[in-house]
Structure 1
């Protein structure tokens, strides 16, 4: 299928009570594992790309890889730029064919974040692509962004309402609710009460950041409260490495590279499929495609 914008399918996911997996790709093989895992389970999926990854491979190359893989798949696939603070990078991704982007102004004072997010919102509305925006400070490490525990803060409820009201067609909203990027040190302390207050007041789908390491129960509860987009990055990166390392440990004399790529692909694909089952999106491709 052609690449789709994630906004309509996320609204359908929220309305029907399931979550759509949003996995961060690293290269062609990892992108293939994400889309092939979704295709096997007939699930919609979001392929996310970090700014670092875009700059490493190039805008046109990444867009071409994902577009080609999506066109060969019988499920809706969105191509999304993750956590970006640079509006020029956002413009270049839109021009290259991204179907959604994220402007992350969460480190800015609220008024400045709203002003800059609204500016990007104007760009995305004109281009016909979806926008994700964030308030609060989600802890942990995401590429070059580091937010220590003492710097993380929950989103303010009143600010959430003002923020979303200013951008009524926002594809997905990412308020900080206590999750963190990277592997958790102990159990995640999710502010379910805040999440519930926000989702009762707004119709916009919510993005759950910091999905690696959450329990199935935590995923299910967050999705039931309106999280239509569920981000997984750290685990995908770990499996990208472990797929190689594990096979090397099993077969130390193996020198042919293709089995290593296959092992890597299968490890990542297995995790994608496990998450899709947990999030409830298996078998939802047709309805998501219709929404998109």
Structure 2
């Protein structure tokens, strides 16, 4: 299938009390693992890419991997730019055929975040591309974005409503609700009541950032309350490295690199399978 829009996937998942996984890809092999897993399970998936990865490979190259692999899948596949603060990179990805982008203005003062987000919203709407926006301070480390312990900040409910009113067809909304990027150092304190209020008041699909390390019950509770997009990044990057390294450590065959690439692919694909299965089943009260 050709690349598809993210919004219809998420709206459908939201209506059914389910979620779609958004997995950060690193190269062609990691992309293949994500799309192969989704095809095996018969579920849609969002391939998601960091700004750093785009700058390393180029927006056209990344798009070519995903488009090629999606053509051989009978499941919906979207291509999304994750956590971008640079309008030029967003435009480059749109020009290369990406179907969704994220503008992350969460470090800006609220008024500036809103102004820049709505300006980008206007041109993504004109281009037929879905937009994700963030508000509040999601903890942890995501590529070059670092929010130190104690500096996390939950989204303000009234500011969330203002964002939603300004961008009623936003593809997905990312308010900070207590989750964090990277591996958790302690028990995450998810503000379920705030998530519930924001999702019901805005009617928008909510993005759950910081999926690595959450329990099944935490995932279910967030999905039930409106998180239709669940991000998985840190675990996939870990499996990317360990899937290759574990085989190399015990069996060094420098003449045959495909052995390691296949082990890497299998590690990533198999690790993703229980998460994609869980999200497709949905949360409490799912249809």
TM-score, normalised relative to structure 1: 0.95
Q: Map of 1:17-36 to 2, 5 A cutoff?
A: 17-36=17-36
Distance 1:141 1:155 in 2: 18
Distance 1:208 1:88 in 2: 26
Query: Does residue 50 of structure 2 align to residue 38 of structure 1?
Result: no
Q: 1:186: Cα distance to partner?
A: 1.1
Distance 1:219 1:278 in 2: 8
Distance 2:260 2:281 in 1: 29
Aligned partner of 1:116 in structure 2 is: 116
Aligned partner of 2:236 in structure 1 is: 236
TM-score, normalised relative to structure 2: 0.96
Aligned partner of 2:150 in structure 1 is: 150
Unaligned runs of 5+ in 1: 283-292
* Partner SS for 1:277: helix
Distance 2:132 2:281 in 1: 20
Aligned partner of 2:208 in structure 1 is: 208
Q: Which has the higher contact order (CA 8 A, sep 6+)?
A: 1
* Partner SS for 2:240: helix
Query: Does residue 226 of structure 2 align to residue 226 of structure 1?
Result: yes
Aligned partner of 1:273 in structure 2 is: 273
Aligned partner of 2:191 in structure 1 is: 191
Query: After superposition, what is the alpha-carbon deviation per residue over 1:118-170, rounded to whole angstroms, capped at 9, x for unaligned?
Result: 00001100000100000000010000110112221000001001111100000
Q: 1:271: Cα distance to partner?
A: 1.8
* Partner SS for 2:36: helix
Q: 1:266: Cα distance to partner?
A: 0.5
Q: What stretches of structure 1 move > 6 A for 4+ residues in a row?
A: none
Distance 2:281 2:73 in 1: 16
Distance 1:114 1:84 in 2: 15
Aligned partner of 1:160 in structure 2 is: 160
* Partner SS for 1:118: helix
* Partner SS for 2:183: coil
* Partner SS for 2:102: strand
Deviates more, 1:269-278 or 1:204-213: 269-278
Call closer, same or farther: CA 1:77–1:243 in 2, change over 3 Å: same
Deviates more, 1:170-179 or 1:243-252: 243-252
Unaligned runs of 5+ in 2: 283-287
* Partner SS for 1:141: strand
Aligned partner of 1:250 in structure 2 is: 250
Distance 1:151 1:216 in 2: 27
Aligned partner of 2:47 in structure 1 is: 47
Distance 2:171 2:93 in 1: 17
Aligned partner of 1:181 in structure 2 is: 181
Aligned partner of 1:286 in structure 2 is: none
Query: Does residue 97 of structure 2 align to residue 97 of structure 1?
Result: yes
* Partner SS for 2:134: strand
Q: 1:250: Cα distance to partner?
A: 3.0
Q: 1:177: Cα distance to partner?
A: 0.2
Query: Does residue 5 of structure 2 align to residue 11 of structure 1?
Result: no
